[in-house]
Structure 1
Amino acid sequence: MDYHRITNIADPYFRQMHELMQTVFPPEEVLAYDLWAEPLQDPGIRVFVAILDGQVVGATEYRYYADMQVAMTDFTIIGRDGLGIGPFLARRRMADLRQVAAEAGGKLKGMFAEIYNPALSEGLEFGGVKSMNAYVRREVLAHLGYLKLDLDYVHPSWQIDGEAVHGLDLCFMPIDDADADAVPASLVATFLETYYAVLTEKPDAWYRMVKGLRERDSVRLLPI
């Protein structure tokens, strides 16, 4: 498999990736095709696809925030079962992030990720790919070291309609301190404000959640 970075909407592999996203994710989780043009040119947003025999069989998007020294995994897609796509993407992503952090003169303290709550997403088929099942993904991410933030989580819809999206947990994988059982609430709030700054329409529930974080000292990390 090849690990190929997409930096332009004109990349022939981008359409394949976008179609794969539409297959495995619900509409409110997928940014419209044309709206990808600007983000893909942002050097801080790293979009890679796994290519096998000329076909996109997996994809991942992530970014590193040098000021916070944390990363965010936007999504990971496994397009086919039984090819080792998940481990391939995880290894290459981590190696790339460590290099990016080093080049920025910092380190990688940890990584955020939104993870589907199986109890709230049982109706989602994820394109029929068993590896994308919410229970399977949750166990895989737990093995990688992700923990759930003790937080009633909601996020704005990527359809930019101001709707609140439920059914996911915000998780964090400590790297700098692998035994950490909490993270500063200010870090979580700052991260969310930065990450979702691109969305002009946000629900009141999201603002209340961030305000609540600003009033806390820390957020516990719980098993997922």
Structure 2
Amino acid sequence: MEFVRIQHIDNPLFAKMHRLMQEVFPPEEVLAYDLWKEPLEDPGIRVFVAVHEGEVVGATEYRYYTDMNVAMTDFTIIGREGLGVGRFLARERQKDLLALAAENGKELYGMFAEIYDPYRVAEHSFGGIKPMDPFVRREVLSHLGYKRTNFTYVHPSWQNDGEAVSGLDLGFMPTNEEQTTLEADLIVTFLKRYYAVLPQKPQAWLDMVKDLESKEMVELLPI
């Protein structure tokens, strides 16, 4: 299996990756095909696919913020079972991120991820692909070391229609597994940067950010 970076929308592997995203994720979670041009060419956004016998069997997108010394896992897709795709992607991503942090002269502080809560929103079928079942994914992320930030989380829809998407937690995987709190101002800085690309912010998101700005620390709880 190969870990291949995609940096141009005309890469044939991107069409396969985008098709896989549409099969797996709800429509509001998938950025339109043509809107991927700039993100793919952004050196700070890292999009990799797992390629097995010429086919895209998995994908992950993530980014590392040098000023905050944190990463964000945008998504991880396991498109085929029985190949160890999930472990392969997690291992290769972590190696890459640790190298980026080292180049920045630091040890990685941690990594954010939006984590579906199927106990609240049960209708996400994720294309019928069993490894992508939200119950399975939530437990896998817990095993990796992710914790949930203790506040009610929403995010702007990637369809940029001003709608708020709920049913998720904002997760954080601290490098120090004993860490039980996270700086609220770090969360605010991260969220404003991450969603700067979407001009249509729902009021619920604005209210959430305002509430975070009034706090110093946020609890990190088990998933």
How does the TM-score come out when normalised to structure 1? Answer: 0.98
Offset of 1:212 from its aligned partner? 0.5
> Which secondary structure does the structure 2 equivalent of 1:154 belong to?
strand
Offset of 1:82 from its aligned partner? 1.7
Alpha-carbon distance between aligned partners in 2 of 1:151 and 1:76, rounded to the nearest angstrom = 23
Please tell me the residue identity of whatever aligns with 1:143.
Answer: H
- State the Cα RMSD in Å: 0.7
2:87 equivalent to 1:87: yes
Alpha-carbon distance between aligned partners in 1 of 2:57 and 2:203, rounded to the nearest angstrom = 37
Report Cα offsets for 1:83-129 as digits up to 9, x if no partner.
Answer: 11000000000000111112233331000000000123311111111
Please tell me the residue identity of whatever aligns with 2:190.
Answer: F
Contact 1:117 1:167 in 2 (8 A): yes
Alpha-carbon distance between aligned partners in 2 of 1:152 and 1:125, rounded to the nearest angstrom = 23
Q: Which residue is equivalent to 1:32?
A: 32
Q: Which residue is equivalent to 1:133?
A: 133
Counting only pairs closer than 5 Å after superposition, residues 9-88 of structure 1 correspond to structure 2 as 9-88=9-88
Counting only pairs closer than 5 Å after superposition, residues 53-202 of structure 1 correspond to structure 2 as 53-175=53-175, 177-202=176-201
Alpha-carbon distance between aligned partners in 2 of 1:124 and 1:118, rounded to the nearest angstrom = 8
Runs of 4+ off more than 6 Å? none
Please tell me the residue identity of whatever aligns with 2:210.
Answer: K
Alpha-carbon distance between aligned partners in 2 of 1:10 and 1:32, rounded to the nearest angstrom = 14
Alpha-carbon distance between aligned partners in 1 of 2:107 and 2:55, rounded to the nearest angstrom = 34
Alpha-carbon distance between aligned partners in 2 of 1:111 and 1:162, rounded to the nearest angstrom = 26
Identical residues among aligned pairs (%):
63
Alpha-carbon distance between aligned partners in 2 of 1:137 and 1:100, rounded to the nearest angstrom = 26
Please tell me the residue identity of whatever aligns with 2:90.
Answer: A
Q: For structure 1, which runs of at least 5 residues remain unmatched after alignment?
A: none
Q: For structure 2, which runs of at least 5 residues remain unmatched after alignment?
A: none
Alpha-carbon distance between aligned partners in 2 of 1:97 and 1:184, rounded to the nearest angstrom = 21
